[in-house]
Chains A and B, each alone.
Chain A
Amino acid sequence: MTLTQQIVTIGVCVLGTMITRFLPFIVFSSNKPTPAYIQYLGRALPSAIFGMLVIYCLKNVEILGNTHGLPELIAIIAVIGLHMWKRQMLLSIAGGTVLYMVLVQVVF
């Protein structure tokens, strides 16, 4: 690929990304009232999105592989347990991550 072709390729990636980020704000500008259905989606979507992002992070876990997804399962339970117990965001994230690192490096 020539430098120009590289610039075009990267530019197209930027353009596509910015379309997906800016489009809702362009279509539903703050000057006009947002349609009720879109307002409803704005309220209902986030919980579904966060569920989707959790699964997205776990998409490459192989249930049928060597570890059967056990390190992930244990670490997820630890994150949830820690968070329900102390409700300290950083503690839950750090605790779960350190446990996961120990599990994949030492245990499994």
Chain B
Amino acid sequence: MKRYTIIKNSFQAAFPYTIPIFAGFWFLGLTYGIYMNVSGFSFIYPMIMSFIIFGGSLEFVAVSLLLGAFNPIQAFTMTLMIQARHLFYGISMLEKFKDTGWKKKYLIFGMCDETFSINYTANIPKDVDTAWFMFFVTALNHLYWVFGSTLGGILGSFIHFDTEGLDFVMTAMFIVIFLEQWLKEEKHYTALIGIAVSVLCLILFGANNFMIPTMLMILLLLTVFKNPIDNKEDKSASAL
């Protein structure tokens, strides 16, 4: 296949997967841009921050960091706490990102929740180049986010729109991705661990502090129950 055809086919395969993200990021980005605007920042801020951070929840928190007293140590610690879940994404993508060449650095750079979820679960057709597919998913999502937040930063408080509830599009997408993964696997131990531990920690630690305990507990349970979760691998290994 010619290089142009490879690129075109990958784009055509990737684009439909990003449509829900288009809706969600357009809305969330706009909200974030407006929030920055009414907090007194020029649209340059949300534009640049969306481009180089590309992580929604941290960018919202960063607004309050920028409005508060200068404290880079606190900003750094908060960033690590909020973004720690990316470590899990990286571990899950070690194999899939192999052999992606020059695109690898960008794929890692742009790996937000949504991009990771799509790139991990998408059924990429055999005749489509995996690296280019993941590249386009990443780049389109990145573009939507920068576009939405810049627009919000420019329009600011001028716009009033009744889109209450539109943010559910992200929840719906993660439910579908969770479901797809559920239907693909034979055993559901880890899916159930993810749900149960998150609910438990949410109740125990509250909405603002439950992610780190959740991740530690997931790691602990996956380690303790490695054998029942992974016993297929163990059998084939012991047979060798």
Contact = CB atoms under 8 A, between A and B. Distances in A.
Contacts of A93: 20, 169, 172-173, 176
Nearest to A88: B176
Given A54-B195, A59-B207, A47 B85 contact: no
Interface of A: 1, 5-6, 8-10, 12-25, 28, 30, 34, 37-60, 71-72, 75-76, 79-80, 83-84, 89-90, 92-94, 96-97, 100-101, 103-105
A47 B70 contact: no
A36 to B, nearest CB: 8
A8 B72 CA distance: 7
Interface residues of B, number: 92
B175 A96 contact: yes
B84 interface: yes
Interface of B: 16-17, 19-20, 23, 48-49, 52-55, 58-59, 62, 65-67, 69-70, 72, 75-76, 79-80, 83-95, 97-98, 104, 108-109, 111, 113, 117, 120-121, 162-166, 168-182, 185, 188, 190-195, 197-199, 202, 207, 210-211, 214-215, 218-219, 222-223, 226, 229-230, 233
